[in-house]
Every structure is written in C-alpha cells, then in structure tokens.
Amino acid sequence: MRNLLLFLRSKTFLANLAVALLGLLLLVGLVQGALNVYTRHGRYKVVPKVEGMSMEAAIALLKENGLNYEIIDSARFNSEFEGHQVVIQFPPPEAEVKRNRAIKLTVNPIRQPRVAMPDLIEKTERRAKHDLESRGLMIGKIRYVPNIAKDVVLDVRYKGQSIKPGTLLDPGSSLELVLGQGLGDVHQPTPVLFGLGYNESLDRLKQLGINIGVVVFDTASTDTPAFKLYRQIPDPRYEIDLAEGAEMDLWFTQDLNKIPTDTLPVVVPDSALIE
C-alpha cells in the first residue's frame, strides 16, 4: 500500500496523468468539431418567400439560397393562382432551416380540371342555373320554343351544338338553354331601362329571359357601376319576341343629360349598331 501511495505521488504518474487528460480533452474537442461540421451546427438559412411565384422561379431562388426543394402537385386548382404557381410552401417564409433543407412546394395544376355537364333536361330554369353555377359553368343565352312545359329545359347547347350530360367542359364555359315557352304568348312589351345602372340593367334582362347583345360605353372607364343606360335596341315602343331568343343592345354613359326623359324615344336605326 505504501508503494502504491508513493507511485501515485511520483512525478512519472502525474506526468502520465496530465498527458492522458490532455489527450482526452483533445479527443473531445475533435469529436465536437467533427459533429459541428457534419451537422453544420449554428449555420442556418432563412427561407425566402416563393408563394405566388412560378415553379421555375421558385426553384431558382431556393437554389440561390442553398436550399433544395420537393414538388407536391395539387389535385385541386386554385383560381387565385395561375397554372404552375406555388400555392403553399413549407417551411413558411422567414423560417430558419439548415443548409440544403428541402422546401416543400405545393404547385397549382397547369390548368383547371374540367367539369362534367350536369343533366338539366326537364329541370326548371332556376334549378338548371343553380346546377351550372355550382360547377363553374355559365348560362350565356336563353331561347324559348313552343312547348307546354313553361320555363323547363328542353335542350342545352354549347357552341351551337346540343350537348349531352357528362360531357367534360372547361370551367367558365357558356351554355345556351332552350326552354319551353308555355301556353301563353311569348311576345311581351320591351322593358324600359333608361337611367338604370350597368348591373341593374343586366339583372333586369336576365330576369325577363332577354339575352344581352352589344354593350357600348361612351367613354373609357373601369368604373362600370357609375354608368347609366341612355340608349337601347329594341326600342321600347315595340314588343319583343322571346321565342326568337331575343337580344337587347345597350349603351351606357356617365353624362346624365343623354338619358331620355320620356319612355318612347325616337327609334334608333340599325346602322347605329356600328359605332
């Protein structure tokens, strides 16, 4: 025991112990340094905002910032973005990530998926309008034909041709409805729209089943609600024939002095359509 104590106090043991401790410290330092290099500890990248950018531009920006990417195709078209635009990114903008981190990009489809034409035959005009609008389709024109079933859909036409249920169409496609006129007379007085605003005039014609023909503004402006109707064809003194798929041409102005004060203005010649 005495010899052991003398050895532990000897310069040789203390020197060896110091060398061993120094070596251990160096080893720990090397391991920590290697881990820092491997994990790039403390070296982060700020994720740039790529939402709303085209897929190509977003990829280029991520590469510029030392980041990778992963493309996720969206199954649903987002109408607020164009085709191949980034709709969602993860992690979000301004997040801190390690270099070469893959940023997930949800990309809008190149085009909006087509929708199936619903079966509208023998449905009411109101139900047909609801079914079309719920699928992103539009009613372009309405035409009446002699039939006992008043305001019931007898045919649906697309680009002049009858279309069958289930046919795939681009959203926003405009369709023509052929409705029964019922037993009554389809001739009715032409509505007087003078002084009505742009939206009011169009809504009124749709309610009456009259198609919208030429629309003219006498001055260039994007503020359409400010315009009032001052000219219309057909003229109010003549009846309008709904069975012929009647149309009305409309002229709008912001000059209130142009609006007729009576309901039976002078007939406007057909040549006035060419303006």
Q: Which residue bears the tokens 């619903």?
A: 118
Task: Indicate the SS3 state at residue 198.
Answer: helix
Q: What is the pLDDT of residue 53?
A: 93
Alpha-carbon distance of 56 to 36, in angstroms, equals 33
> What is residue 271's predicted lDDT score, i.e. its pLDDT?
42
pLDDT for res 103: 92
Mean pLDDT across the chain:
81
The residue whose two tokens read 């025991």 is 1
C-alpha distance from residue 73 to each of 88, 103, 109 (Å): 11, 14, 7
**pLDDT tens readout for residues 51-95:** 999 999 999 999 999 999 999 877 677 778 888 899 999 999 999
Mean pLDDT of 251-266: 77
Is the CATH code 3.30.10.20 the one for domain 187-273?
yes
State the Cα–Cα distance between residues 135 and 155, nearest whole angstrom. 18
pLDDT at 27: 76
271 in Cβ contact with 238 (< 8 Å):
no
The CATH 3.30.10.20 domain(s) of the chain lie at 44-107, 115-180, 187-273
Question: Which class in CATH covers the domain with range 44-107?
Answer: alpha beta
Architecture of the domain defined by 115-180: 2-Layer Sandwich (3.30)
User: Burial of 252 by CB count in 10 Å (0-12 exposed, 13-18 middle, 19+ buried)?
Assistant: buried
Average pLDDT over residues 202-218: 85
Q: Among 101-105, 107-111, 190-194, which is the least confidently predicted range?
A: 107-111
Range 243-258 average pLDDT: 84
| Whole-number percent of the chain with pLDDT over 70 | 81
Res. 227: pLDDT tops 90: yes
Residue range 23-35, pLDDT digits in tens? 777 877 777 766 6
Give per-residue pLDDT as tens, 157-205: 998 899 999 999 988 889 999 988 776 556 677 888 999 999 999 888 8
Q: Give the pLDDT confidence score for residue 270 in this predicted structure.
A: 41
Amino acid at 104: K
**Residue 171: partners with Cβ closer than 8 Å, 6 or more residues away:** 112, 114, 115, 135, 136, 137
For residue 265, the 8-state DSSP code is P
Which tens digit of pLDDT belongs to each residue from 123-162? 988 899 899 988 889 888 888 887 777 888 999 999 889 9
Q: What's the CA gap between 103 and 114, in Å, rounded?
A: 30
In which band, very low, low, confident or very high, does the pLDDT at 8 lie, cut at 50, 70 and 90?
low
Q: Which residues, including other chains, have CB under 8 Å from residue 33's CB and lie 6 or more apart?
A: none
